Chain A
Amino acid sequence: MPASDKISRRRQLLTVTRYELLKYLRGRRLLAAIILAIVVSLLILLIPLIVGLENPARISDFLVQFVSFIDILIVIGATLFGADALVSEFQHKTAYLLFPNPVSRAGIFFGKYLASAIATFIMILVFYGITGIASFGFYSELPIQFFYSLAVAGLYALSILALAFLISSLMRGSTGSSVLTFLLFFLILPIFDFGLTFAQVKPWFSATFASGIMWNIVITPYPSDFVFNIPVFLAPGSEGLTITNYVPELNLSIGLLLLYMLFGLAVSLRLFSRKEMV
């Protein structure tokens, strides 16, 4: 008797996205993210002016000042919008209402991922928007490298969000998932990168290390690893130290971030699809 009427899967996915965004709006998360992006970019802009520093001679140096902070904003975006996206449905028992709908888990999953990407992109765009206006105001130009950086920031956001989704599909509580996401990308992996660098090993495989392409790409020509020596008088008792400043390679890092994104999505989708609401 029942008609086998088909429901548009694409419409379902976009519906999930739309209502996820509504939740971000109502919970004021999106507002917090936008305000944060504004505050951070204004601080970078105003502090040098207040303490009376001249703007750098080269526009690329000016831009690097800004975009070297974008990675932390993206990590905050992933924490706010990705880390609890999956786990909260189970923890807050809303899955009892959502899952009995004629919608696939994959539809819910990608709808949520799209929403988290849109929210994080909004945050990124606000930050780059202010950076771009400032650059144009001081130098009357906006180099193409600025847009390259923006594109790479988008990729980094997609890949960190996918990894945040992975954490979200593994954890049992929203708070734990958020804290772990933030600490992992803000503290643990950067310390790991630093340790490897110190031990003269290039952490090319690390997502947080790869994020360096977001500001290196602003510099022309694209920089490469360089070694600097610390003279004996700054490091007494030694014969002088050499430290290599590793620069993530552009193509390799882009490929790596794509790989992390696909890995994060594939594994978390599988876990989310199989997870039982018990």
Chain B
Amino acid sequence: MPAAITIEKLTKSYKGLLALDNLDLKVPSGTVYGYLGPNGAGKTTTLKILTSLIKPTSGKAYFFDQEVTKEPETALIHVGAIVETPEFYNYMTPVEILSYFGKLRGLKNPEIEENSSRFLKLVGLDDWKKKRIATFSRGMKQRLALAQALLHDPQILLLDEPTIGLDPRGMAEVREIFRSLKKEGKTIFMSSHLIREVQEICDSVALIDKGRLILSNTIESLTQKSDSVDIEMKLIKPPPPEQIALVKRMEGIESVTQVNPTTLRINYKGNFDNVVLLLKRIVNQDLKIYSFKTTQGDLEALYMKMIRESVR
């Protein structure tokens, strides 16, 4: 089976500025794929090409085996998308917007009605479904954008910073939605600046900068590459200096920083098996620990490192 999304040598130049530079990327079917990169890296530009909002200067893109850069009308049937921060027709209501786009996507009326009410409920706009969008807040518009992307039950979702503008509960709800979509076997390709979020819900990531691919891999293999572990430890009361010194002398410890009186950050060289031993030893020191968290494979740290290297 072909990959859900195939990007081949995609290049886009805006009057001489290379927004995308020979980008190659494959997103396997059924994966949740995070698309990372600093501001201006070319994430939105990629999504715009994939949704036929702009044309590439050169290169191709496919959904399964259909070339969207050639026949967007057919290729986009299986795609739901949010690009940038979209705006809606002010005088219409969510129900009308969904029925408009449902018809354009070839859904039958009963299907449109059923799916509209299901997805408006899912994104929490049930009480607002017959209100004019002109009065909606940014977060409400973002929820509606998500509902329209899901409306026709597409195989592929292309999402440009999908949780932007949502309140914390909204973000959690949306993450939950993504998880259940993943269970249904959908492919999600999402750009984001929220690395924690990406680490939590994505299987793989691609990192781009200045229109070029810097790395792409599964999160698992990316984060296991590093052999040093960051550990954050919280104590009930500030530890005496001699105990900190003791910890510092333990085998494999690279550094110990007292972030605040009751929090220690430990950098440890070794794998998870060794961390278990380390914890035992520290507990034996009679330190009053109530929280011990490894940030092993912190994507954020990796991101920073890669971006720094790419700048050079």
Q: Do A and B come from one complex?
A: yes
Binding site for B on A (CB under 8 A): 1-2, 4-8, 11-12, 15-16, 19, 22-23, 26-27, 92-97, 99-104, 107, 274, 276-278
B72's partner among A8, A15, A23, A102 (CB-CB below 8 A) is A102
- Which chain A positions have C-beta within 8 A of B79? 100, 102
Instruction: Give the docked Cα–Cα distance between A107 and B76 (Å).
Output: 15
Query: Could you tell me if B84 and A94 are in contact, using CB atoms closer than 8 angstroms?
Result: no
Distance between A161 CB and nearest chain B CB, rounded to angstroms: 21
Contact flag A23-B104 (CB < 8 Å), given A93-B84, A104-B73: no
Report A-chain residues with C-beta under 8 Å of the C-beta of B64: 1-2
User: How far is B101's CA from A19's CA once the two chains are assembled, in angstroms?
Assistant: 10
Is the CB of B29 closer than 8 A to any CB of chain A?
yes
Chain B residues in 8 Å Cβ range of A6: 74
Once bound together, how far apart are the Cα atoms of A69 and B243, in whole Å? 96
Q: Which residues of B contact A1 (CB under 8 A)?
A: 1, 29, 64, 155
A146 CB to closest chain B CB (Å) equals 36
In the bound complex, residues from chain A placing their C-beta under 8 Å from that of B78 are 2
Pick the interface stretch among B46-54, B219-227, B296-304: B46-54
Residue of A nearest to B102 (CB): A15
Point out the residue from A11, A15, A26, A100 that lies within 8 Å of B81, measured CB to CB: A100
Asked whether A26 and B91 contact (CB < 8 A) given A97-B145, A100-B53, A102-B72, the answer is yes
| Top 9 closest pairs, chain A to chain B, by CB | A26-B91, A7-B106, A100-B51, A96-B86, A277-B53, A93-B87, A276-B54, A102-B76, A15-B103
Task: Report B142-155 CB contacts with A as 1/0, cut-off 8 Å.
Answer: 00010010000001
Complex contacts, A102 vs chain B, CB 8 Å: 72-77, 79, 104-106
Beyond A11-B103, A11-B106, 16 additional contacts (C-beta under 8 Å) are A2-B77, A2-B155, A4-B74, A22-B96, A26-B91, A96-B53, A96-B85, A96-B87, A97-B97, A97-B145, A100-B51, A100-B52, A100-B79, A100-B83, A101-B76, A104-B73
Q: How many residues of B contact A (CB 8 A)?
A: 42
| Chain B residues with CB below 8 A from A2, complex form | 63-64, 66, 77-78, 155
Q: Is B55 a contact partner of A276 (Cβ separation < 8 A)?
A: yes
Task: Give Cα A12 to B83, complex, Å.
Answer: 22
Known: A1-B64, A102-B73, A102-B76. A277 touches B54 (CB 8 A): yes
Interface CB pairs A-B, < 8 A, 7 = A2-B66, A4-B74, A19-B100, A22-B96, A100-B79, A102-B106, A276-B54
Residue B92 interfacial (CB < 8 Å): yes
Determine whether B136 belongs to the interface, using a CB cutoff of 8 Å to chain A: no
Q: What is the CA–CA distance of A100 and B51 in the complex, to the nearest angstrom? A: 5
Roughly how many angstroms separate A92 CA and B77 CA in the complex, as a whole number? 24
What is the bound-complex CA distance between A77 and B84, given in angstroms?
Answer: 33
Question: For the complex, what is the distance from the CA of A49 to the CA of B52, rounded to whole Å?
Answer: 59
Taking CB as reference atom, which chain A residue is nearest B64? A2
With A23-B91, A93-B84, A97-B148 as known contacts, state yes or no: A5 contacts B52, CB within 8 Å. Answer: no
Given contacts A2-B66, A7-B77, contact A97 B155 (CB under 8 A): no
Which residues of B are at the interface with A, using a C-beta cutoff of 8 A? Answer: 1, 14, 29, 48, 51-55, 63-64, 66, 72-79, 81, 83-89, 91-92, 96-97, 100-101, 103-106, 145, 148, 155, 158
Nearest to A95 among chain B residues (CB) is B53
Most-contacted residue by chain B among A11, A94, A274 (CB, 10 A): A94
How many angstroms between the C-alpha atoms of A278 and B54 in the bound complex? Answer: 7
Name which of B53, B88, B97, B105 has the most chain A CB atoms within 10 A of its CB. B53
Closest to A88 in B: B89
- Residue on B with the closest CB to A11? B103
Asked if A103 and B87 make an inter-chain contact with CB atoms under 8 angstroms apart, the answer reads: no
Q: Is the interface of A mostly helix, strand, loop or mixed?
A: loop
B104 and A94 contacting across the interface, CB-CB below 8 Å: no
Bound form: Cα–Cα A102–B64 in Å: 15
B73 touches A103 (CB 8 A): yes
Contact call A101/B86, Cβ cutoff below 8 A: no
Q: How far is the CA of A15 from the CA of B107 in the complex (A)?
A: 12
Q: Report the bound CA distance from A243 to B32 in whole Å.
A: 77
| B48–A94 CB distance below 8 A | no
Is there contact, CB below 8 Å, between B87 and A278?
A: no
Smallest beta-carbon distance B12→chain A, Å? 10
Instruction: Provide the bound-state CA to CA distance between A63 and B55, in Å.
Output: 53
A117–B76 alpha-carbon span in the complex (Å): 29
Is B83 touching A96 in the complex (CB atoms < 8 A)? yes
Judge whether B91 and A27 touch: CB under 8 Å.
Answer: yes
Of B63, B72, B89, B92, which is in contact with the most chain A CB atoms at under 10 Å from its CB?
B89
- List chain A residues, Cβ under 8 A from B101: 97, 101
Query: A97 with B88: in contact, given A2-B66, A2-B78, A2-B155 (CB under 8 Å)?
Result: yes
Chain B residues closer than 8 Å to A94, beta-carbon distance: 86-89
Residues of A within 8 A of B66 (CB): 2, 4
Shortest distance between the CB of A134 and any CB in chain B (Å): 35
Q: What A residues does B53 contact at CB under 8 A?
A: 95-96, 99-100, 276-277
The answer for the CA separation of A11 and B86 in the assembled complex, in Å, is: 25
A23 in contact with B83 given A103-B73, A277-B54 (CB within 8 Å): no
How many angstroms from the CA of A22 to the CA of B29 in the assembled complex? 39
- In whole angstroms, how far apart are the Cα atoms of A199 and B239 in the complex? 100
CA distance A6 to B97 in the complex (A): 22
Give the shortest distance, in Å, between B37 (CB) and chain A (any CB).
Answer: 19
